[in-house]
Amino acid sequence: MRSNIVTEAGLPTRLGHWWEGIPFLTSAAVITCGTIYLICLLTGYDSFLEICFSPADVISRFQVYRTYTSIVFHGSLLHVFFNMLALVPLGSELERLMGSVRLLYIIVLLAASNAIFHLFIALLVAHNPFHPFQYLMAECSIGFSGILFSMIVIETSLSGIQSRSVFGLFNVPAKWYVWILLVAFQLLMSNVSLLGHLCGILSGFAYTYGLFNYLIPGTSFYSAIEASSLLSTCVRRPKFIMSTGGNAMGYIPTYSNQNAPSSGLISGNLWRNLSAWMPRRETSVQSTQDSSFPGRGRTLGSERGQMVSSQNSDYNLQARLLDNNGPEHSPGIVPVVSGQQLLDGRNLENSLPVTLESHLHNQASVVSDEEVQKLVSMGFDRTQVEVAVAAADGDLNVAVEILMSQLG
């Protein structure tokens, strides 16, 4: 018998599995940037002065479209290759955490904030009374690397790790990681936009400090977009990640959220932020759910409400068995009973006297009819939706995965 079939798979098979593991938006961004570069290469287009981000043209001609055209164009094959190679792990991790639509909105927001920071710093440095640097106003920047630096800051902040590896050579403290990358790219590569990368870092820190919270809409905004008929084809894709069912506040946890104390930039303690360089993780006292792990968590205990939740979990198991195996039980499967029933010494035969219909009725208190209707509007049968929601324990993301697997 072969020891490991995976290691013996050919290169096309490995690439296929690797590509299938990349979420929808991240893979779409890679395809978009790669296709644009390929079209420019085949047509001989190299007039990047028309689409790059140039502070002088944005201000004098009000060409604000450069904010977004500049991030999808690249100057060389190595430029687009390394940017997309860095985007795959960063974008995949953030997309799984945020959802596809929410990450798209964050990228649009980061691109706009990068442009604002770029304009402000270029104007400030070019018109300072001591030693003006006018070349910054005429600088032409293209590439996705500014967004990548913002993603690095956000991902490093949310991961909570203490150290990171620089090119696999040595480890550095996490709070210095992005700054070391900034210096390393300036020293190792030519024609690198220091201001473009710096503005990406500043935008990333602005996000982690919660300065963009007022610009980030709630969950209902993303739900309305995902329920739109225009995106029905995209939503049905297996790689598409729903933005609903996660953080109820509508944005990924930052270090200045609605429940936690505000950061120093908002409260006025500027010195604390200047000395920290990197926001520290704050834990909300009122929050009972870690937004890095979407879903409804349970705590073991002896209270009645917790026992009811445990019983509901047992009913969910029975619903899955009914959905997958029909009326008869599969061999080797033993019914699960709650802790309270074990303490009372009741028989296993009487531990689960609940039908699938009553279980679906109990789930009505967890998932509203409006949320069920959203899934129905996506083309699923209502009965299948109710069964999937029941099997998913009220988690809409898991319910969608169950429905999609049934379609497959």
Structure token digits, residue 239: 């790689």
- What is the token pair recorded at 107? 């990228």
Q: What is the DSSP string of 291-308?
A: TTS-S------SSHHHHH
| Contacting residues for 176 by C-beta, under 8 A, at least 6 apart | 277
Closest CA to 356 of 327, 399, 396, 398: 327
- What CA–CA distances, in Å, run from 246 to 276, 297, 304, 324, 369? 29, 12, 26, 27, 18
How many Å from the N-terminal Cα to the C-terminal Cα in the chain? Answer: 31
Question: From CA 16, how far away is CA 6, in angstroms rounded?
Answer: 12
Closest to 246 (Cα-Cα) out of 94, 139, 68: 94
Identity of the amino acid at 258: Q
With 0-12 / 13-18 / 19 or more C-beta atoms within 10 angstroms meaning exposed / middle / buried, residue 391 is buried
- Could you tell me if 354 and 310 are in contact, meaning their C-beta atoms sit under 8 angstroms apart? no
**Can you read off the two tokens belonging to residue 39?**
């079209």
**CA distances (Å), origin 215, targets 110, 207, 210:** 11, 10, 10
Residue 321, amino acid:
L
**Cα–Cα distance between 37 and 75 in angstroms, integer?**
8
- Residue 61: in which H helix or E strand, if any? none
Catalytic residue numbers read 145, 197
**Taking a C-beta distance cutoff of 8 angstroms, is the pair 175, 276 a contact?**
yes
Q: What is the largest CA-CA distance in the chain?
A: 86
* Nearest-angstrom CA–CA distance, 307 and 313: 10
Helix segments in 238-303, DSSP class H: 264-267, 270-276
